[in-house]
């Protein structure tokens, strides 16, 4: 649930900050301006994405959390920490 809320808020901020002035300040005018921003964005390509998973660090007690790369361009399952 938290991931969905964070994603939603980021998209709202993106569209509100980058949209053109709406045709009206009514709901439909603002919605149409925000939709125009989303339609203008190019689709995300799979080769431009790196997937990762946060896990607890069992090897270093000072580091409580580390990021494990699930898929990346160089090689998979590398740690960024």
pLDDT band at 63 (very low <50, low <70, confident <90, very high): low
- Enter the tokens of residue 6: 């964070």
Reduced 3-state DSSP string for 22-66 = CCCCCHHHHHHHHHHHHHHCCCCCHHHCCEEEEEECCCCCCCCEE
Beta partners for residue 24, in sequence order: none
Q: What is the pLDDT of residues 5-50, one digit of tens each?
A: 788 899 999 999 999 999 999 999 999 999 999 999 999 888 888 7
User: Quick check: 69 and 80 in contact, CB under 8 A?
Assistant: yes
Beta partners for residue 56, in sequence order: 65
- By annotation, the residues acting in catalysis are 9
pTM of the predicted structure, to 2 decimals = 0.59
């Amino acid at each position: 649930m938290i991931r969905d809320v964070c994603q939603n808020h980021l998209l709202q901020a993106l569209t509100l900050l980058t949209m053109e002035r709406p045709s009206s300040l009514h709901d439909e005018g603002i919605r149409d301006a925000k939709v125009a921003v989303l339609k203008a964005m190019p689709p995300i390509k799979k080769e431009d994405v790196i997937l990762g998973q946060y896990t607890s660090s069992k090897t270093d007690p000072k580091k409580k959390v580390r990021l494990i790369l699930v898929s990346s361009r160089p090689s998979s399952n590398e740690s960024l920490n």
